[in-house]
């Protein structure tokens, strides 16, 4: 696909911020501001995770391969809701976004699944949702709350991650999209996650400023990451992206932990 946006099918100002939607071949893309790509969908296979950072966030499936209750903080164009709704027919999804306009665009242009027994959409702040409305504990919490200025301030903050820890099941995992170009905030968030969670992994996304953090209330379960080639191939076929590459990225970018675990096996 060309790097150019393609045919603009929607343009509007939401809360003073310019939002545009483009079609280009099989892809539909959501842009904020002056050309910041936020989300992309395959029109023929809308359940696929198209952007590389979303696939890296789905590396949480190494840690929690069968999530039943899922919380998505930051709906965007609905990529994670579509993906988990398609691949995990028994899962229950709470999806939260502070913008009614974003939710309307996800429904009108990006095939956000209709609310039913399995999917509940909440319009509001993700921190307030966890603080006041959430009634469940989650197996998987996906945090991808950005605006045209970067990481949402009420989400990427210590009180929010403490609530995530409290609302996470004992075998659950938080998958968080971080923006490493904001170095001061990035280091602060990494430190906060390390304080609140027993196990933390980082996955830098190639050729982007995104770094995915996987945080869990237990030590990193390395045997779940060191899968056999046949098991990685099976996961790759099921979800249609390269689990072998994800496993390699986890090992290479968390080398000190990998070496300590390998040493225990000797």
pLDDT < 70 positions in the chain: 1-4, 34, 147-148, 257-266
**203 Cβ contact list (under 8 Å, min separation 6):** 56, 59, 211, 212, 213, 214, 246, 249, 250, 253
H or E segment and range at residue 102: helix 100-109
Sheet holding 7-14, edge to edge: 7-14, 17-24, 27-32, 36-42
45-265 CATH pick, 3.40.50.150, 3.10.450.710, 1.10.3720.10, 1.10.287.3510: 3.40.50.150
Q: Which pLDDT tens digit goes with each residue over 200-251?
A: 999 999 988 899 999 999 999 999 998 899 999 999 999 999 999 999 999 9
Helices (H), 153-199: 158-167, 183-196
pLDDT at residue 3, as a whole number: 61
Q: Are 58 and 140 in contact (CB under 8 A)?
A: no
Contact criterion met (CB below 8 Å) for 38 and 150: no
Residue reference for tokens 């968080």: 176
Strands 210-216 and 199-204, bridge-based pairing: antiparallel
The distance from CA 83 to its chain's CA centroid, rounded to whole angstroms, is 11
- Predicted confidence at residue 4, as pLDDT, reads 63
Q: What is the pLDDT of residues 37-52, one digit of tens each?
A: 889 999 999 999 999 9
- Report DSSP state, residue 130: I
Residue spans of the domains in the chain: they are 45-265
- Percent of the chain predicted with pLDDT > 70: 94
Which residues, including other chains, have CB under 8 Å from residue 250's CB and lie 6 or more apart? 59, 62, 201, 203, 225
CA end-to-end distance (rounded Å), the chain: 47
């Amino acid at each position: 696909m060309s790097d150019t946006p393609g045919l603009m099918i929607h343009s509007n100002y939401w809360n003073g911020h310019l939002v545009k939607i483009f079609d280009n071949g099989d892809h539909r893309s959501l842009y904020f501001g002056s050309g910041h790509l936020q989300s992309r969908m395959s029109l023929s296979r809308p359940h696929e995770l198209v952007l590389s950072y979303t696939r890296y966030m789905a590396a949480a499936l190494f840690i929690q391969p069968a999530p039943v209750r899922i919380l998505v903080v930051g709906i965007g164009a609905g990529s994670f809701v579509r993906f988990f709704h398609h691949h995990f027919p028994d899962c229950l999804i709470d999806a939260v976004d502070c913008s009614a306009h974003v939710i309307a665009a996800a429904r009108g242009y990006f095939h956000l699944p209709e609310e039913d027994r399995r999917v509940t959409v909440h319009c509001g702040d993700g921190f307030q949702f966890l603080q006041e409305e959430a009634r469940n504990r989650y197996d998987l919490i996906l945090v991808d709350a950005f605006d045209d200025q970067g990481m949402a301030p009420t989400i990427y903050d210590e009180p929010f991650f403490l609530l995530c820890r409290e609302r996470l099941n004992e075998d659950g995992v938080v998958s968080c999209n971080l923006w490493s170009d904001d170095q001061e905030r990035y280091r602060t968030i990494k430190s906060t996650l390390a304080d609140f969670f027993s196990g933390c992994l980082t996955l830098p996304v190639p050729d982007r400023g995104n770094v995915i953090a996987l945080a869990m209330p237990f030590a990193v379960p390395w045997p779940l990451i060191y899968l056999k080639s046949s098991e990685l191939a099976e996961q790759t076929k099921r979800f249609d992206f390269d689990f072998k590459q994800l496993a390699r990225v986890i090992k290479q970018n968390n080398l000190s932990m990998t070496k300590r675990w390998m040493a225990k096996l000797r």
